[in-house]
Amino acid sequence: MQIIHLSHHIGGTDVSGTAVLQQQNPAKADDLQITIPVADAHVVEQAVTAAKTAFAVFRDQGIEKRADALAKVQQLIVQHSDELSQLIARETGKTFADAKGEVGRAARIFGFFAGEALRIVGERLESTRNGAMVEVEYAPVGVIGQITPWNFPIAIPAWKIAPALAFGNTVVWKPSEISSATAARLMALIHEAGVLPGAVNMVLGGGETGAAICANAGIDALSFTGSQATGKKVRLAAMERAIPVQTEMGGVNALLVLADADVDAAVENALNGAFFAAGERCTATSRIVVEQAIADEFVSKLVARVKQLKLGDPLDAATQIGPLASPNQKALISRQTAKMEQYPGAQLVCGGTAVEMPACFFAPTLFDHAKADDPIALEEIFGPVAAVFRVKDYAEGLAMVNNSRFGLSAGLCTNSLKYAEHFKRYAKSGMIMINLPTAGIDYHVPFGGVGASSYGAREQGRAAKAFYTVAKTTYLKA
């Protein structure tokens, strides 16, 4: 059994505290034990002070220095890729292969924003008043409070921390208590890369630590990815203090499969979206909406593929699906699935709560004949559980896709340009996937949803500038 004691990281140094929280390997309890201190308002205040002090220096250090430091973080992540991926697998249950992909993505995000630091483009215009000019520059916001989830334990921190730094901000970051060891390794690499001490500060803990960040008067903007309930708390705290906020939450994402689609390819898209990464992606497919004409063929092919999925130790190269991230997650997904099983209408076709699974594993579960008001249509299930909704045609399918207060990612499988164009225009969603799984996004383009899925400016790609800068308008007369 390996034991890892974690510390906060404030102003360039590790700050220890009494271990309160714990995380174990969700695949096997005797492998790894991580102990985590909890930052209270006082520790958070120290971190905010360090970030404020660093901001005064960091914003004027020059864009080349920032770019170099971000590029160095990229290089260090690549160098430590195997070690980081193993830790992610052991800490969160993500498969080693998925973790490797995520670590690579995190590295590239730092690389992308190293470039962005060098092109913070402003504008210069003539004033409407003769002889005067107007300049618009994009200045840093200040100290950004960031709260990140466990399901992408390195990529999501990367897509918040890298743009914050690229545009000259400093950071107080609280990672999830389920992925704090991975966070601590990233923090150490950021430090090793030569980023100014205090520019990124990491405070560990659970909900109360997050609340202390949100309430701290020194925080200038808040960025959050996680649950609906916590997202709402973060937004309300930001409203109270009138600071910018972005919250990325879940979705009840739908994949619409039309009768003219390549059925085998559509099955693979559904399989990937619904079950890969054990369904623990905010972009995962939980509603598979299928045109009646091909529904029997589609469901039997999908069930055959689900039954072939190999569950096992995340470190084993043959494993396709690891465990859920924690006993709490397993209890939650079990409760939600049981609710579906008891609901009249939908039929369980594979998996389900009756299948006994060791540790935090949960059987990939599929329902058929679900209806618009089934529980799975209403609330996100952050696990390997999905339902097929049968519809008579495209119009009914699109209405079913849009029958949600969420709207993060919506997929369509078709060979028809007409339907693809229509779907792109009328699906109520921030991201549209044509003949691709609903999950699996690029880092150089905007990411985010509509409705209850997302709030505030988009993340990632060049869109990140909108959140991490403030437009400053100067009127100038010589």
Which residue matches tokens 């997050």?
210
| Nearest C-alpha neighbor of 145 from the set 224, 66, 233, 28 | 224
Site string for ligand UN1, 93-132 (x = CB under 6 A): ----------------------------------------
Nearest to 29 by CA among 359, 313, 363, 361: 359
Beta bridge partners of 285: 253
Residue 282 CB, shortest distance to ligand UN1, in Å, is: 3
Q: Is 151 in the site for ligand UN1 (CB under 6 A)?
A: yes
- Work out whether 283 is an interface residue with ligand UN1 (CB under 6 A): yes
The answer to the question of residue 213 lying near ligand UN1 (CB under 6 A) is no
User: Considering 116, 214, 280, 282, which one is annotated as catalytic?
Assistant: 282
Residue whose CB is less far from ligand UN1, 48 or 277: 277
Burial of 380: CB neighbours in 10 Å, binned 0-12, 13-18, 19+:
buried
- The least distance separating ligand UN1 from the CB of residue 273, rounded to whole angstroms, comes to 9
Instruction: Give the residue with the Cβ less far from ligand UN1, 43 or 439.
Output: 439
Residue 441 in contact with ligand UN1, rule: CB under 6 A: yes
Q: 75 has which bridge partners?
A: none
Least distance from ligand UN1 to the Cβ atom of residue 261, Å: 21
446 binds ligand UN1 (CB under 6 A): no
| 184 vs 441, beta carbon nearer ligand UN1 | 441
Q: Is residue 214 flagged as an active site residue?
A: no
225 counts as binding ligand UN1 under rule CB under 6 A: yes
- Among 248, 291, 380, 459, which one carries the catalytic annotation? 248
By beta-carbon proximity to ligand UN1, the closer residue of 49 and 179 is 179
- Please state, in angstroms and rounded to a whole number, the distance separating the CA atoms of residues 186 and 191: 9
Interface residue with ligand UN1 among 282, 302, 315, 324 (CB under 6 A) is: 282
- Within 239-325, strands assigned E span 245-248, 253-257, 285-291
The answer to whether 153 and 92 have CB atoms below 8 angstroms apart is yes
Using the minimum distance from each CB to ligand UN1, give the nearer residue, 205 or 279: 279
Q: Say whether residue 174 binds ligand UN1 (CB under 6 A).
A: no
Task: By CB under 6 A, tell whether 34 contacts ligand UN1.
Answer: no
The pair of three-digit structure tokens given for residue 402, joined into one six-digit string: 């849009």
DSSP state of 458: P
Q: Does 325 bind ligand UN1 (CB under 6 A)?
A: no
Could you say which of 248, 291, 368, 380 contacts ligand UN1 (CB under 6 A)?
248
Nearest to 374 by CA among 413, 347, 400, 346: 346
**Cβ–Cβ under 8 Å, residues 69 and 170:** no
Per-residue tokens: 253:
């994402």
Query: Nearest approach, Cβ of 182 to ligand UN1 (angstroms)?
Result: 15
Between 216 and 285, name the residue whose CB sits nearer to ligand UN1.
Answer: 285
Give the integer Cα–Cα distance in Å for 89 and 188.
19
Site residue total, ligand UN1 (CB under 6 A): 12
Distance in angstroms (rounded) separating the CA atoms of residues 379 and 406: 9
Q: Residue 123 to residues 2, 120, 133, 134: CA-CA distances in angstroms?
A: 54, 10, 11, 8
Stretch that binds ligand UN1, among 49-57, 135-143, 145-153, 420-428 (CB under 6 A): 145-153
CB of 457 to ligand UN1, least distance (A): 15
Q: How far is 30 from 43, CA to CA, in rounded Å? A: 32
23 binds ligand UN1 (CB under 6 A): no
DSSP SS3 for 243: coil
Q: Tell whether residue 152 is a contact of ligand UN1 (CB under 6 A).
A: yes
Q: Which is nearer to ligand UN1, 93 or 352 (CB)?
A: 93
Q: How far is the CB of 30 from ligand UN1 (least distance, A)?
A: 29
Kindly indicate which of the ranges 149-157, 254-262, 291-299, 306-314 contains the residues binding ligand UN1, using the contact rule CB under 6 A: 149-157
Using the minimum distance from each CB to ligand UN1, give the nearer residue, 170 or 225: 225
- Does residue number 91 form part of the binding site for ligand UN1 (CB under 6 A)? no
**Nearest to residue 51, comparing CAs of 200, 211, 234, 203?**
200
Smallest gap, in angstroms, from Cβ of residue 256 to ligand UN1? 18
As measured in angstroms, the least distance from the Cβ of 459 to ligand UN1 is 8
Q: How far is the first Cα of the chain from the last one, in angstroms, to the nearest whole number?
A: 70
Yes or no: say if 255 and 288 are a contact pair by the CB < 8 Å rule: yes
**Whether 324 contacts 280, CB under 8 Å:** yes
Structure tokens at 300: 């039997």
- Edge-first strand listing for the sheet containing 200-202: 13-15, 8-10, 200-202, 170-175, 143-148, 221-225, 245-248, 454-455
Active site residues: 248, 282
Q: Which residues bind ligand UN1 (CB under 6 A)?
A: 149, 151-152, 156, 225, 248, 281-283, 439-441
